[in-house]
Each structure stands twice: as structure tokens, then as C-alpha cells.
């Protein structure tokens, strides 16, 4: 029996523009997903998915022959899982190519609707099991920038930058060495830097869930549909990221994330979440990832928690209890 584990993720800066080469700050979370694999005698895949409360939310047995011959399945979860396994076979033809089968159990540490990476942690775990490149597997299945895979694989905050942006011809990104920490350049497409991001004011930072899950793929499609020349915005967001990493006061941090909100707001033509839902809030609020759902980052104090609870937002997690650092 083998067990694989991947960290969840939060993108603190660079949402949307990470796809076009903006320098972005991402943090792995203390919540993730495990994948336990046991060998069985028959050529079958016995799959079970368990939620954070220990409840089985998906269970199915796949016959290898039918699965590899792309026999259609009625439910969307089975279809997606088979699609992932077919992509794995393209990357590693020897995968699932024996007389033995497997009993696989996937277990989440967090509710699926939190948006911390139920898909990316699964992709990274399967990639470890099958001995394939997780970034390539992501490209062939869910798509995206890959920052979530980087978080799955790193136990400290990182900066993430595509050196060959997925969608953009607007900017040429430098692949210089990291300003601090280790430089982990996985391939010619991305630069990942481990950083020391542990702000002195972290006791004034917390994450609030907006009570709904936002599909990041839908957000990316909307972003691409409205795309113009974003060279200046990419440069501005990269500067904001660099300044956030080095800033040492809460006031400066609040100024930076407010600036970040305004830049993204103009690009995607949406009002910042503070204007929409929390206009009377005294602290500063920043969306994380695709706008409109999942977690937001808020600055404030213990009294601020009561503000969000009065408005019906009860999932509030402190920085120390969320971020793996």
C-alpha cells in the first residue's frame, strides 16, 4: 500500500493574469488531499472518494478493458476520472498495464466547495502514483496556469510565473534567478521560487468563504473573452506581488491589495467584492482566484470576524490556521 499527498492552494496575487506571465504569489494550505493505492488480484480499478467528514461521496468499480476502451459512463464523475486516466496512459503507456488491479481511496481534508484545489490535488496525486509529469497531466485535463500544482508540491509560499504564457503574445517574461530562496525551474514554461513570506501582521489576516464555489474554468473563459492588450496590467500586478512580499506594515499591505483589486476590476469589468457585498467594512478585502466565490482575504481584527458572521459568513479561518508555512 502506498499513500500520496498534495497540498491545497490559494493564489494571493495574480489571478487571471497569471495565465499571461504575471509574477504571482501563491501559498500551499494546511488542507489537502491524500490518495491511497493498494494492489488487488483482478484487473479492476476499485475507486472510492471520501469527504472531509469521512463520508463516501463517490464509489465505483471500473473494469480495465472497458475503461481503457473508453466505454461511456452515465455520471460526470466517472467520465472525468476516466478522462484523467486516459491522459495518464498517453504520458505513461505502462500505467494500468498489468494483470493486477488497484483499490484506490481519495480523501479530502477540506469541503469540496471551499475551492482549495480538489481537482489539482487529485491530479498531482495521480501523477505521483503513475510517475508522470503533473503539469502535463493538468494541461491534458483541466488546464490552467499550473500554480495549483506548484502549491501541491511545495510546503512553503512560492512565487509562480509562466515564462511561456499560455494565452499571451503581449509580454516576454524574464527567467532570471529568484530574488530570494531557492529557484525551482521545472521546465522552460515556468519559474517557481520558494520564498520567505511570513508577514509580521499575519494576525490581522484571515480568509472568509463566500458560501459558494466559483468554477475557475468559467472565470478564465470570461477573462479570455474580454482580453485586450494587458502588458501594462501584467507589469503592474508583478510589481504589486514583489512589493507585497517585501512589505512590513499592514497599512502598506492594504494599499497594495486595494491597488490589485482595482487593476483586476478594470480588466474583467467587475466591481471588487468589497463594493458588492461589504461596502461598510472598515478593513480591506481582496478576492482570491476567480472572482465571485470561494475565499476572500480580509484584513482586520477579532471584531472583524463578528462583522462577517452577522452577514451570514461563518467559515472564517485565520492566516496561521490556513497557510502551510
Asked whether 289 and 27 are in contact (CB, 8 A), the reply is no
> What is this structure's pTM?
0.92
124 pLDDT above the threshold of 90:
yes
Three cell numbers written together for 8: 491545497
Is residue 66 very low, low, confident or very high in pLDDT (cuts 50, 70, 90)? confident
**Span of 24-28, 39-43, 170-174, 283-287 with lowest mean pLDDT:** 170-174
Find out whether 48 and 37 touch, Cβ atoms under 8 Å. Answer: no
Task: Inform me whether the pLDDT recorded for 174 exceeds 80.
Answer: no
Q: So what's the pLDDT on residue 74?
A: 76
Question: Confidence band (pLDDT; 50, 70, 90) for 171?
Answer: very low
Shortest CA distance to 206 belongs to which of 304, 324, 311? 304
Do the beta carbons of residue 133 and residue 123 sit within 8 Å?
A: no
Q: What percent of the chain shows pLDDT beyond 90?
A: 78
Mean pLDDT estimate for the chain: 91
* Domain residue spans of the chain: 2-194, 202-322
71-114 pLDDT, tens digit per residue, is 667 789 999 999 999 999 999 999 998 889 999 999 999 999 99
- Three-state secondary structure of the chain: CEEEEEEEEEECCCCCHHHHCCCEEEEEEEEEEEEEEEEECCCEEEEEEECCCCCEEEEEEEEHHHHHCCCCCCCHHHHHHHHHHHHHHHHCCCCCCCCCEEEEEEEECCCHHHCCCHHHHHHHHHHHHHCCCHHHHHHHCCCCCCHHHHHHHCCCCEEEEECCCCCCCCCCCCCCCCCCCCEEEEECCEEEEECCCCCCCHHHEEEEECCCCCCHHHHHHHHHHCCCCCHHHHHHHHHHHHHHHHCCCHHHHHHHHHHHHHHHHHHHCCCCHHHHHCCCCCCCEEECCCCCCCEEEEECCHHHHHHHHHCCCCCEEEHHHHECC
What is the model's pLDDT at position 172? 46
Inform me whether the pLDDT recorded for 253 exceeds 80: yes
Q: With a cut of 70, say whether residue 16 has pLDDT above it.
A: yes
> Can you give the pLDDT at residue 170?
44
Cell of 72: 461511456
Cell matching residue 205:
489576516
pLDDT of the residue at 215: 67
Band of residue 179 on the pLDDT scale cut at 50, 70, 90 = low
Superfamily for domain range 202-322: GHMP kinase, C-terminal domain (3.30.70.890)
Chain-centroid distance, C-alpha 249: 27
Per residue in 215-233, pLDDT tens? 666 666 666 666 676 889 9
The dihedral through the CA atoms of 251, 255, 260, 261 has a sign that is positive
The proportion of the chain whose per-residue pLDDT surpasses 70, expressed as a percent, equals 87
Length of the chain: 325
Q: Phi, psi at residue 181, to the nearest 5°?
A: 75, -165
Rounded to the nearest angstrom, the gap between the alpha carbon of residue 1 and the centroid of all alpha carbons in its chain is 28
CA–CA separation, 157 and 26 (whole Å): 6
**CATH topology for the 2-194 domain:** Ribosomal Protein S5; domain 2 (3.30.230)
Amino acid at each position: 500500500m502506498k499513500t500520496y499527498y498534495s497540498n491545497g492552494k490559494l493564489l494571493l496575487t495574480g489571478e487571471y493574469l497569471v495565465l499571461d506571465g504575471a509574477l504571482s504569489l501563491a501559498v500551499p494550505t494546511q488542507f489537502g488531499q491524500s490518495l491511497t493505492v493498494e494492489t488487488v488480484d483482478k484487473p479492476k480499478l476499485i475507486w472510492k472518494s471520501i469527504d472531509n467528514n469521512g463520508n463516501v461521496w463517490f464509489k465505483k468499480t471500473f473494469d480495465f478493458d472497458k475503461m481503457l476502451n473508453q466505454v461511456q459512463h452515465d455520471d460526470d464523475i466517472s467520465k472525468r476520472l476516466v478522462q484523467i486516466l486516459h491522459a495518464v496512459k498517453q504520458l505513461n503507456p505502462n500505467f494500468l498495464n498489468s494483470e493486477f488491479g488497484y483499490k484506490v481511496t481519495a480523501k479530502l481534508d477540506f469541503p469540496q466547495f471551499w475551492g482549495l484545489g480538489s481537482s489539482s490535488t487529485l491530479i498531482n496525486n495521480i501523477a505521483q502514483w503513475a510517475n508522470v509529469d503533473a503539469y502535463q497531466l493538468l494541461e491534458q485535463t483541466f488546464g490552467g496556469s499550473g500554480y495549483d500544482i506548484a502549491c501541491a508540491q511545495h510546503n512553503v509560499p512560492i512565487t509562480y510565473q509562466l515564462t511561456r504564457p499560455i494565452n499571451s503574445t503581449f509580454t516576454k517574461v524574464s527567467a532570471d534567478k529568484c530574488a530570494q530562496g531557492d529557484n525551482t525551474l521545472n521546465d522552460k514554461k515556468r519559474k517557481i521560487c520558494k520564498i520567505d513570506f511570513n508577514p509580521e501582521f499575519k494576525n490581522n489576516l484571515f480568509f472568509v468563504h463566500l458560501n459558494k464555489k466559483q468554477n475557475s474554468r468559467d472565470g478564465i473563459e470570461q477573462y479570455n473573452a474580454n482580453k485586450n492588450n494587458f502588458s501594462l496590467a501584467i507589469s503592474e500586478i508583478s510589481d504589486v506581488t514583489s512589493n507585497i512580499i517585501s512589505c512590513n506594515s499592514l497599512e502598506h499591505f492594504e494599499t497594495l491589495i486595494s491597488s490589485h483589486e482595482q487593476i483586476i476590476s478594470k480588466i474583467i469589468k467587475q466591481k471588487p467584492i468589497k463594493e458588492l457585498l461589504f461596502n461598510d467594512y472598515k478593513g480591506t478585502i481582496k478576492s482570491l482566484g476567480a472572482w465571485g466565490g470561494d475565499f476572500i482575504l480580509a484584513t482586520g481584527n477579532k471584531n472583524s470576524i463578528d462583522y462577517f458572521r452577522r452577514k451570514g459568513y461563518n467559515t472564517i479561518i485565520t492566516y496561521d490556521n490556513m497557510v502551510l508555512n
